[in-house]
């Protein structure tokens, strides 16, 4: 259902994309969650970017700083921020 919501509400619906990313993480698909949110990030307004950045930081903590997927995603987020 969440995938359908994200599809029908559009790629830029931040709440829908965050919900699907949460589902990705709960299912063990951390790479998918990171890709979804990092692909979305550049086209968002300031509030959307803040929401995505905050959620990514939460996911980074869940996985742990030493997780290679976190290292790659953190590097990509840093590039998008600056």
Q: Model confidence over 56-82: pLDDT tens digits?
A: 999 999 999 999 999 999 999 999 998
Q: Which of 4, 47, 55, 48 is nearest to 25 (CA)?
A: 55
Given a cut of 50, is residue 1 above it in pLDDT? Answer: no
Q: How far apart are CA 76 and CA 78, in angstroms?
A: 5
Q: Model confidence over 8-23: pLDDT tens digits?
A: 555 668 999 999 999 9
Q: How far apart are CA 39 and CA 35, in angstroms?
A: 6
**CB-CB contact of 36 with 23 (8 Å):** no
Instruction: Over range 19-45, report the average pLDDT.
Output: 95
Q: Which of 40, 37, 45, 47 is nearest to 74 (CA)?
A: 37
């Amino acid at each position: 259902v969440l995938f359908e919501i994200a599809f029908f509400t559009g790629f830029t619906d931040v709440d829908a994309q965050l919900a699907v990313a949460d589902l990705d993480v709960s299912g063990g698909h951390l790479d998918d969650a990171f890709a979804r949110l990092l692909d979305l990030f550049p086209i968002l307004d300031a509030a959307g970017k803040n929401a995505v950045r905050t959620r990514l930081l939460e996911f980074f903590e869940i996985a742990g700083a030493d997780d290679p997927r976190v290292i790659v995603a953190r590097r990509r987020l840093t590039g998008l921020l600056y």
